[in-house]
Amino acid sequence: MIAIIDYDAGNLKSVQKALDFLHQECVITRDFHEIRQADKVILPGVGSFGEAMAQLKKYELDKVIQEVVEEKKPFLGICLGLQLLFEGSEESSGVEGLHLLDGQILRIPDTEGLKIPHIGWNSLDLWNNGRLFAGLPEHPYVYFVHSYYLKAKDDRIVKATTEYGTHIHASVEQDNIFACQFHPEKSSTVGLKILENFAGI
């Protein structure tokens, strides 16, 4: 069973629908027992970094996230869920992230001709044999909605990158932690394959 963490963020239902389509048992929950009992955990998210961290702390979900990661359960952060796994974000100065991984979340630079937020389909460059991307072509297209991006401290955890005004670390993997800046649940057959790969880990 896959637990989708509910902290009043958006895109919960779309993640659930994608997993339902793949015939994966899942539940949207903030119940500590259900999250601890799950085989895998997903942290989705849209919105601002600071508000999201405040919600996680309000429900004390930051603590249960630490627990399940330490137990080596497969854990997937999606979009804002990726950003929350790191130290902090330029979006919310002074707010500490979960800091399960090392890196910073930076604002996409203002570049002539590029709209921010970045909304739309971009191709990925796949690195370092990421398990989420098994069976996919070399440059799959996925769907992004974001104004901030990851710069990981250690390139070895980066499994996919894209270019949008800057070099974006679009997906990372370290031990049992996986994360995507893009939305696999909105990325058609490619995204479904990524979620299927996660479910199979």
79 is catalytic: yes
52 and 43 Cβ atoms separated by less than 8 Å: no
List 91, 173, 180, 185, catalytic entry: 185
26 is catalytic: no
> What does the block give as tokens for 11?
């895109």
pLDDT in tens, 57-80: 999 999 999 999 999 999 999 999
Q: How sure is the predictor about 9, in pLDDT bands with cuts at 50, 70 and 90?
A: confident
Which domains are delineated in the chain?
2-199 (3.40.50.880)
pLDDT in tens, 99-145: 999 999 999 999 888 999 999 999 999 999 999 999 999 999 999 99
180 is catalytic: no
List 26, 79, 91, 196, catalytic entry: 79
For residue 42, is it left (φ>0), alpha (ψ between -120 and 50) or beta?
Answer: beta
List 26, 91, 183, 196, catalytic entry: 183
> What's the pTM?
0.97
